Amino acid sequence: KDWQGPPRLQNGTSWFYFATDQWKYEESNVDKLKSPLAKHIKHQHPADYNVTAAKLGWLPSYPQFNKNSLLFAEEAK
Protein backbone atom coordinates (compact mmCIF):
# COMPACT_ATOMS: atom_id res chain seq x y z
CA LYS A 1 0.00 0.00 0.00
CA ASP A 2 1.12 3.50 -0.72
CA TRP A 3 1.52 6.16 1.94
CA GLN A 4 -1.93 7.56 1.32
CA GLY A 5 -5.34 6.38 0.23
CA PRO A 6 -6.87 6.92 -3.18
CA PRO A 7 -7.38 10.56 -4.19
CA ARG A 8 -11.11 9.97 -4.74
CA LEU A 9 -12.14 10.69 -1.16
CA GLN A 10 -14.92 13.11 -0.30
CA ASN A 11 -14.05 15.81 2.19
CA GLY A 12 -15.62 14.43 5.38
CA THR A 13 -15.98 17.75 7.16
CA SER A 14 -17.82 19.25 4.22
CA TRP A 15 -20.07 16.23 3.84
CA PHE A 16 -21.15 16.14 7.49
CA TYR A 17 -21.49 19.91 7.58
CA PHE A 18 -24.02 19.95 4.74
CA ALA A 19 -25.62 16.49 4.96
CA THR A 20 -26.58 17.01 8.59
CA ASP A 21 -27.62 20.65 8.11
CA GLN A 22 -25.08 21.81 10.67
CA TRP A 23 -24.65 25.00 8.68
CA LYS A 24 -28.08 26.10 9.96
CA TYR A 25 -26.85 26.11 13.55
CA GLU A 26 -23.46 27.72 13.04
CA GLU A 27 -23.01 30.31 15.76
CA SER A 28 -19.56 31.56 14.84
CA ASN A 29 -19.39 34.83 13.01
CA VAL A 30 -16.98 35.07 10.10
CA ASP A 31 -16.10 38.62 11.16
CA LYS A 32 -14.04 37.02 13.94
CA LEU A 33 -12.01 35.14 11.32
CA LYS A 34 -11.33 38.19 9.15
CA SER A 35 -7.76 39.29 8.73
CA PRO A 36 -6.94 42.67 10.26
CA LEU A 37 -5.58 43.62 6.84
CA ALA A 38 -8.86 42.89 5.05
CA LYS A 39 -11.24 45.78 4.46
CA HIS A 40 -14.30 43.63 3.93
CA ILE A 41 -15.25 39.96 3.77
CA LYS A 42 -16.68 38.22 0.74
CA HIS A 43 -19.11 35.87 2.49
CA GLN A 44 -21.17 36.09 5.66
CA HIS A 45 -21.25 32.38 6.57
CA PRO A 46 -18.56 29.66 6.88
CA ALA A 47 -20.60 27.40 4.57
CA ASP A 48 -20.15 29.92 1.76
CA TYR A 49 -16.38 29.63 2.08
CA ASN A 50 -16.63 25.83 2.01
CA VAL A 51 -18.62 25.91 -1.23
CA THR A 52 -16.20 28.41 -2.76
CA ALA A 53 -13.25 26.20 -1.82
CA ALA A 54 -14.88 23.18 -3.48
CA LYS A 55 -15.66 25.18 -6.63
CA LEU A 56 -12.08 26.42 -6.85
CA GLY A 57 -10.69 22.91 -6.45
CA TRP A 58 -9.20 23.45 -3.02
CA LEU A 59 -11.42 20.72 -1.54
CA PRO A 60 -12.35 17.46 -3.21
CA SER A 61 -15.99 17.41 -4.18
CA TYR A 62 -17.29 14.44 -6.16
CA PRO A 63 -18.78 13.70 -8.59
CA GLN A 64 -17.29 16.36 -10.83
CA PHE A 65 -19.03 16.73 -14.17
CA ASN A 66 -18.86 19.39 -16.83
CA LYS A 67 -22.66 19.61 -17.03
CA ASN A 68 -25.77 19.19 -14.93
CA SER A 69 -26.32 15.61 -13.77
CA LEU A 70 -29.95 15.79 -14.93
CA LEU A 71 -28.69 16.13 -18.50
CA PHE A 72 -26.93 12.78 -18.15
CA ALA A 73 -30.28 11.14 -17.38
CA GLU A 74 -31.88 12.81 -20.39
CA GLU A 75 -29.08 11.59 -22.67
CA ALA A 76 -29.35 8.05 -21.29
CA LYS A 77 -33.01 7.75 -22.33
Examine the pLDDT at 3 and tell me if it is beyond 60. yes
pTM score:
0.56
- Please give the Cα distance from 40 to 36 (Å, whole number): 10
CA–CA separation, 17 vs 25, rounded Å?
10
pLDDT tens per residue across span 15-30: 777 878 877 777 777 8
Mean pLDDT over residues 53-57, rounded? 83
Q: Which residues of 15-40 are buried (b: 16+ CB within 10 A; e: fewer)?
A: eebeeeeeeeeeeeebeeeeeeeeee
> How deeply is 14 buried, as exposed, middle or buried, from its count of CB atoms within 10 A (0-12, 13-18, 19+)?
middle
